[in-house]
Homo-oligomer: A and B are copies of this chain.
Amino acid sequence: DSIFSSHFRSPPAPKLASKLAPLDKAISTRNRILPQVSSIQGKIEYSFKNELLLIEAMTHSSYHRNDITGCYQRLEFLGDAILDYLVTCHIYQSDSSAEPGRMTELRSALVCNSRFAELAISLNLHRSLCHGSPNLFNDMKKYAQSLKQREKEDRERKLEEMSINDDDSAQVIVESMEDGDIDDDEDEDDDIIEPPKSLSDCFEALAGAVFIDSGMNLQTVWETFSPFLEPLFEKFKNDPPLTPICELHKLIPKDLEVKKKVLSEGKSQCIIEIKDKNICEVATARSYKNAKNFAASRVLKKLA
């Protein structure tokens, strides 16, 4: 017995009547949680046969008022590999002459926590996620606001560029860039807004939930998530954005020193030094990956 297509053996579906809670209590839990998560189905245009899978995907480990399913971590484990596989196939198929290095860069740009966190916000998952953590609440709110702000700035920049193309008055660009620089210059870590990992986690868990609910049907998962992934593929396919640390490694292939310090309270620090250029930048973040990229951005600014 295999694990896919006609022969696959689906794992047992979660059931309301289980060891976790007596049936009447389970029904009341379901009826309480369902309204909070149900709207996701409209957003992704997929109706769950077994709504417990949707509830599981939207349950953070800090949420103690769900006695009918576990938290999203198992589905996240699954969804992560599924999305990676689907995006990989899509990239492989889309261009038979693409250069392998470019394909890998494109995959990294599409399958990464920050991209999935953005998609999670666009699906309003931060409003649906069941959790019991005030910190997480604040982090998600701040992150959602920062995305909104970035979108607004992008729109304004585009409008500005359009008006410049009309007027041919390049001066405006220079002025607006200088304005921007003033805000950016404070090298405080306060301005670092990390995408909360829980957001990308529950996005992946949602993919895992659709996979199990559809009888492990990869095609259904692709049809459900391609409306979100394909536009990103089209946007990035010709020029995939590199993370700041990748860009820096390309720019300075040697004599770069990158130091990781694990601090207390679950924070990590990254110190990047280029000795012969007398550059040293530090950043602190919840994830070391983020700290590294923030420090690399600062080094890139110095080098610019």
Which A residues have a C-beta under 8 Å from some C-beta of B? 2-5, 7, 9, 11-12, 73-74, 76-78, 80-82, 84-86, 88-93, 96, 98, 100, 103-104, 107, 216-219, 222-223, 249, 253-264
Contacts and interface: CB of A to CB of B under 8 A. Distances in A.
Contacts of A86: 3
How many copies make up the complex?
Answer: 2
A259 B262 contact: no
Contacts of A93: 3, 9, 11
A219 B7 contact: yes
A231 to B, nearest CB: 17
Contact of A81 (B85, B249, B260): B85
A2 B3 CA distance: 20
A254 B263 contact: yes
A200 to B, nearest CB: 15
Contacts of A223: 2
A253 B268 CA distance: 11
Q: Which of A3, A80, A263 has the most CB of B within 10 A?
A: A3
Contacts of A74: 92, 98, 100, 103
19 contacts: A2-B222, A2-B223, A3-B93, A3-B222, A5-B218, A73-B100, A77-B92, A77-B103, A78-B88, A81-B81, A81-B88, A84-B84, A85-B85, A218-B218, A254-B264, A256-B260, A256-B262, A257-B260, A257-B261
Given A77-B91, A253-B262, 6 more contacts: A3-B219, A11-B96, A78-B88, A84-B85, A85-B85, A256-B262
